[in-house]
Amino acid sequence: MGARVCLVHYHEIGLKGKNRSTFENQLVTNLRKALQAFPVKDVRRISGHLLVSCADDAVTDELARAVAQVPGVARVSLAFHCALVEKEYCDAAVRALGEAGDFTSFKVHARRSSTTYALHSIDMNRLVGDVLCRAFPDKQVRMHKPDVTVNVNVVNNGVYVYATSGPGVGGLPVGTAGKVVTLLSSGFDSPVATWMVGRRGAVCVPVHFSGRPMTADTSEYLCRDIVDALAPAGMVGRLYVVPFGERQREISLAVPQSLRIITYRRVMFAVSERIAALEGAKALVTGESLGQVASQTLDNIAAVNEMATMPVLRPLIGSDKQEIMRRAQQIGTYDLSAQSVDDCCTLFMPRRPETHARLAEVHAAWDSFDHDAMIDDLVRDVEYVDFDQCASYRPPASLRARHRDLLPASEGN
């Protein structure tokens, strides 16, 4: 009847000329990386699809689920790969329809990517349809909106048969849209924001500001676990950690209480942009959502935004918290973000933070301490942890100091 394979579908809109092969090659590379733990024999292109084949027929639902989480994958089908022999592909069609679950109507959709096969696709529809009608006498054939479509694709000298497919995350393969630095706290929003730009093809380099040494390093471990949770999507190569506690103390002594948070954020933006420059990243990403909390009013966003010279992407700016939480659940970061830990945001919190910062006051506060020296020091002392999940991440040559303790969980920590 033929071996089980996994057929990967992607949206072809906008995929023309050179774009198309760049997209397909990157998706092949990313799938290989994402499926490292599976006994995958081959990932390759076959006429408008990608094909994942495994040793020992190990093409399982679990494999399909892993494939579905890779950006660029629109749908995934478990198919039978048959020889170009009528009996073989008809048997596979019976088996595929038998596995389709509850349904009342179906149709057959045959296609020939190579026309060397004598039988026309209309004749194949009829042939396979007759076999299926005999095998499933109580089911109806319906051409318009059937419950199940049995696909029979002739490619080269083989036939791929499948009846069901599950949705993938969509988007574009990571590595096709450049690199971004994402400001990652352990809250709900920034992991989701990171995932969203990663899904659009960007390699993500998260930067986390921790309250160390004034707080424990728990938030750093949480951020590491969040990056591990994002591993199935393969978008992060490295996490930067900036111990910020001491500097926050200095800021809290220098600036008016109500402007502390804005000042912390300005420093975060400046340091993140410096890291972005080292990394060759072209934008910053935050998890801000308009009006969600006091610091996310337009006035405050403007007061922080002026620190950045590169574009700042805010993929959640128009999202409601409920939508963000749902997405966090879907991508596996919800339970981690639900843990409340002290990070630099809970450190030296003012009683009444400014909600509509006036730029003149922000600037006066900014000039009341040696911000340039602080930013230089923070960049110099930045630590990092590498992750083996992203096929396209290239680290900058100029940084050498690895984080001393924070090995990825996958390395047995």
**What tokens were used for 212?**
């160390």
**Per CB under 6 A, 273 contacts ligand ATP:** no
Find out whether 189 and 318 touch, Cβ atoms under 8 Å.
no
Written as one letter, the residue type at 216 is A
- Give 316-373 as a DSSP string: TTT--HHHHHHHHHHHT-HHHHTS----GGGTT--SS--SS--HHHHHHHHTTS-HHH
**Per CB under 5 A, 185 contacts Mg ion:** yes
What 3-state DSSP class applies to 115? coil
Min dist. Cβ of residue 345 to Mg ion (A): 5
Min dist. Cβ of residue 293 to ligand ATP (A): 5
Q: Which stretch binds ligand ATP (CB under 6 A): 50-58, 79-87, 232-240, 338-346?
A: 338-346
Nearer to ligand ATP, 127 or 242 (CB): 242
CA distance 352 to 306: 23
What 3-state DSSP class applies to 116? coil
**Per CB under 6 A, 295 contacts ligand ATP:** yes
Find out whether 43 and 52 touch, Cβ atoms under 8 Å.
yes
**Per CB under 6 A, 73 contacts ligand ATP:** no
Residues that contact ligand ATP, how many (by CB under 6 A):
21
**Per CB under 6 A, 328 contacts ligand ATP:** no
Pick one of 100, 135, 277, 293: the residue that binds ligand ATP (CB under 6 A): 293
**Per CB under 6 A, 24 contacts ligand ATP:** no
**Per CB under 5 A, 206 contacts Mg ion:** no
Nearer to Mg ion, 119 or 293 (CB): 293
Q: Which stretch binds Mg ion (CB under 5 A): 18-26, 96-104, 185-193, 205-213?
A: 185-193
**Per CB under 6 A, 153 contacts ligand ATP:** no
Min dist. Cβ of residue 383 to ligand ATP (A): 13
Q: Which stretch binds Mg ion (CB under 5 A): 85-93, 179-187, 368-376, 379-387?
A: 179-187
Min dist. Cβ of residue 399 to ligand ATP (A): 18
Pick one of 127, 231, 345, 357: the residue that binds ligand ATP (CB under 6 A): 345
CA distance 148 to 164: 7
- Give 218-281 as a DSSP string: HHHHHHHHHHHHTGGG--BSEEEEEE-HHHHHHHHHHS-GGGHHHHHHHHHHHHHHHHHHHHT-
Find out whether 159 and 168 touch, Cβ atoms under 8 Å.
no
Q: Applying CB under 5 A, which residues contact Mg ion? A: 185, 187
Q: Applying CB under 6 A, which residues contact ligand ATP? A: 183-185, 187-190, 207-209, 268, 286-288, 292-293, 295-296, 343-345
